[in-house]
Amino acid sequence: MTAPNRKSDPLQQIRDQILERRRFLITSHARPDGDSIGSQLAMAFALDALGKEVRIVNADPAPDHYQEFPGMERIEIATRVEPMTADAVIVMECSEPGRTGLAGLEREYLINIDHHAGNQLYGALNWHDDSAAACGEMVFDLIQALGVPLTPEIATHIYLAILTDTGSFHHSNITPRTFDICRQCVEAGVTPAVMARRVFDSNSFGKLKLIGALLDDMELADEGRLAVLHLDDQMLAATGSTHNDTEGLINLPLTAREIQAVVFFKVTQNGQVRVSMRSKYDVDVRRVANEFGGGGHKNAAGFTVNGPLMDVRAGIVRRLVGAIAEGLETRPA
The footprint of ligand 5GP (CB under 6 A) covers 29, 33, 95, 276, 294-297, 300-304
Residue 244 φ/ψ, nearest 5 degrees = -60, -25
For the bound state, the minimum distance from the C-beta of residue 160 to ligand 5GP, rounded and expressed in Å, comes to 15
In the set 11, 135, 283, 323, which binds Mn ion (CB under 5 A)?
A: 135
For the bound state, the minimum distance from the C-beta of residue 116 to Mn ion, rounded and expressed in Å, comes to 7
For the bound state, the minimum distance from the C-beta of residue 312 to ligand 5GP, rounded and expressed in Å, comes to 14
Interacting partner of 32 out of Mn ion, ligand 5GP, none (Cβ under 5 to 8 A depending on kind): none
Buried b (16+ CB within 10 A) or exposed e, 299-313: bbbbbebeeebeebb
Rounded CA-CA distance 129/132 in Å is 6
40: how many CB neighbours lie within 10 A of its CB?
A: 30
Interacting partner of 276 out of ligand 5GP, Mn ion, none (Cβ under 5 to 8 A depending on kind): ligand 5GP
Q: Is 282 in the site for Mn ion (CB under 5 A)?
A: no
Interacting partner of 38 out of Mn ion, ligand 5GP, none (Cβ under 5 to 8 A depending on kind): none
Q: How far are the Cα atoms of 43, 146, 174 from residue 50, in angstroms, in the given order?
A: 11, 9, 30
Q: Taking the mean position of all CA atoms in its chain, how far away is CA 116?
A: 9
Is the Cβ–Cβ distance between 26 and 90 less than 8 Å?
yes
- Taking the least distance from each CB to ligand 5GP, the nearer of 63 and 302 is 302
Q: Is 137 in the site for Mn ion (CB under 5 A)?
A: no
Interacting partner of 295 out of Mn ion, ligand 5GP, none (Cβ under 5 to 8 A depending on kind): ligand 5GP
209: how many CB neighbours lie within 10 A of its CB?
A: 17
In the set 137, 165, 222, 282, which binds Mn ion (CB under 5 A)?
A: 165
